[in-house]
Structures are given as C-alpha cells and as structure tokens.
Amino acid sequence: MDIPEKTVLITGGANGIGRCLVHHLVESGAEVGVLDVDQPALDSLHNQFPSVYVKNCNICDEASVSQAVEEFFSSRGRIDILINNAGIIRDSPLISLSRKLERHKYELWKQVIDVNLNSVFIVSSHVVEKMIQKRTKGLIVNVSSISAQGNPGQSAYAAAKAGVAALTKTWAKELNGFGIRVACIAPGFTNTDSAIKAMGEKITQEWAKRIPIKRLAEPDEIASGILFIIANDYFNGKTLELDGGVIL
C-alpha cells in the first residue's frame, strides 16, 4: 500500500515507537490520527505536527474508543490503516520468592491484558466496521513482542502479546473477503523511555549483551519494519520478528 494520502490511526502514538512512526508517516504524506492517554505528550506531538489528529482516549474504554473513531472517521472520511501499537509493560513472576511467597496479583494481570490485548479487540472492531462500511481495502498492523514466545516474569504481557499474534492470523482469514490485510510485528527489546524504565538500566545492559547484535533496537528500526508491512501487500497473517536475533 502506498502511504501518501492514506489515513492512518495509531494507538499509543504519543511516545516511543508509535511517535517515531507518526513522524515517518507525516513526512510521507499520510493523514495521521493518534489515540493516547499521555496528554503532555499529545500536546507536544500536536505542536510538532499540527495536522495530526490527537485525542486523549483510553483505548480500554469502548465508549471512548467508539467516540474517537467516529470523530476521526467523520473528519477524514475514511480510515485506511490501523496500527495497534499502544501497550504497557508491567512485570511480575507467577509466584515471587524475593521476601516472602507472593502471588502475581490478579488486578495486575487484568490491567496488562486490558491494555495490551482487550484494547486491540475494541479498537479493531470499531475501525474495521468503518472500513467495511466504506468498502476500504484497509490494513491492520498489530504490535506484538518477542515476549509472546514466553518470557519469565511476564505472564500477562506474554499472554497478551501471543493473543495479539493469534488475532492477526484469525482476522487475516476472516477479513480477507473484504480486502482487508492484517499483519503483525514482534519487536525485540527497543530503546524507548518506558521500556528502559520498566527493565531498569542494569537489566537493560545485561539483555543487550544477550542480543546477537549486542544492542537494543532503535524505535526507528521498528518503525521501518511497520513501514515495510504497509508497503508490501503480500505480507499477510504473519508476524515480522524484528529482534536482533535474540532467543529468549
């Protein structure tokens, strides 16, 4: 799919990988909309790119998503591409032995599943409805993670990201009849503020040594993988693993 004049909605586009992608898409002539909950980052994004539609929208809340998708769709007339990028990393082992036996909190499980998986279902269902109404031969790109392969300490995150990859395969089959392509990217460890904060400097450096390329990915490199998926109409129903060759 060519990018110029395409209308692209990105969740979590105010920071990190999503923000980097916004930059590339705007420069390539796309009309971009961003749903995010970080208001200061949305404000700075809007200052940087006044043409970008920015909306403070919690993508786990269906009513807010419905309203935001409707608003973006009405103002631009169509949605060609959805990038399901927003996510949070909150780690916890199933049972922690650090001080005393402590179970993975169910509340934390639900929060991580909500933001990383349920939101993908909510936003996609609303956007695909618009694509089908308008007979748009659209594209959904889901952002999974290398953690989908199973990562100790990340029960909820790994399950959510594996779920995102499974939705990709399911929707690629289900939406093929409407001309809608669905694909996925699974980044490895990527140098964004939130990832470094979640892992801590020390663990980040240890991880970097385990990556055959010996460093984290830069957000630009992951954005470039998403741009490849957009450009290549034959990439469908699969996950692009962009992880520097690391094995968990």
Ligand X SMILES: NC(=O)c1ccc[n+]([C@@H]2O[C@H](COP(=O)([O-])OP(=O)(O)OC[C@H]3O[C@@H](n4cnc5c(N)ncnc54)[C@H](O)[C@@H]3O)[C@@H](O)[C@H]2O)c1
Does position 36 bind ligand X by CB under 6 A? Answer: yes
Does position 87 bind ligand X by CB under 6 A? Answer: yes
Residue least distant from ligand X (Cβ): 16
Closest separation between CB of residue 241 and ligand X, Å? 10
Using only C-alpha atoms, the chain has a radius of gyration, in whole angstroms, of 18
Instruction: Give, in order, the Cα–Cα distances in Å from 178 to each of 69, 74, 94, 122, 172.
Output: 20, 21, 41, 19, 10
Residue 157 designated active-site? yes
Q: Which stretch in 14-22, 91-99, 165-173, 174-182 sits in contact with ligand X by CB under 6 A? A: 14-22
Does position 145 bind ligand X by CB under 6 A? Answer: yes
Q: How far apart are alpha carbons 59 and 34 in whole angstroms?
A: 11
Considering only residues 9, 18, 92, 246, which one is a binding residue for ligand X as defined by CB under 6 A? Answer: 18
- Residue 159's CB is within 10 A of a number of other CB atoms, namely 18
Q: Which amino acid is at 175?
A: L
Catalytic residue among 53, 106, 157, 234: 157
Q: What is the footprint of ligand X within residues 159-218 (CB under 6 A)?
A: 187, 189-190, 192, 194-195
Q: How far apart are alpha carbons 155 and 92 in whole angstroms?
A: 7
What count of Cα atoms within 13 Å lies in the side-chain half-sphere of residue 237?
10
Binding site residues, ligand X, CB under 6 A? 11-12, 14-18, 35-38, 41, 58-60, 85-88, 115, 143, 145, 187, 189-190, 192, 194-195
